[in-house]
Homo-oligomer: A and B are copies of this chain.
Amino acid sequence: MGLTKTEGYTQAQIELATVAKVLGHPARIAIVQHLLEINACIGNDLMDVLPLSQPTISRHLAELKKVDIIQGTIEGSSMHYCINAHRWLEIRQMLGGLLGMEPGEQCC
């Protein structure tokens, strides 16, 4: 089907999975890392960072924007994208909550 069922899960589980899924592509990881590193706003500079065409980069940016990892403002004829700081902390909490759980003793 290609369609993920959503009934039967908690809202938190769906939210976690949605964010993880968006981070589940090397281009989007690279974009997020780049934004965090330079700590600034960018537009088309990403063409120099990623091995992808402009339309494809635009789509990855849209994915990141959809879950609010990044935000953008129009600046004349170009865009300013940056990490949504508040959301980033929220995601750190969410994913950190999962990652922080202790695996305990191996049993198999």
Interface set of A (CB-CB < 8 Å, partner B): 4-9, 13-14, 16-18, 20-30, 32-33, 36-37, 39-41, 50-52, 71-73, 75, 80-85, 88-89, 91-92, 95-96, 98-108
- Hey, which chain B residues are within 8 Å of A21, CB to CB? 20-21, 24-25
- Dominant SS among interface residues on chain A: mixed
- Hey, which chain B residues are within 8 Å of A108, CB to CB? 41, 71-73, 75, 80-82
- Hey, which chain B residues are within 8 Å of A36, CB to CB? 98, 101-104
Residues A23 and B17 in contact in the complex (CB < 8 Å), given A85-B103, A105-B39: yes
Report yes or no: B106 in contact with A99, Cβ–Cβ below 8 A. no
Among A6, A7, A9, A100, which residue has the most Cβ atoms of chain B within 10 A? A9
Report yes or no: B99 in contact with A95, Cβ–Cβ below 8 A. yes
Bound-state CA distance A14–B24 (Å) is 9
- Hey, which chain B residues are within 8 Å of A80, CB to CB? 107-108
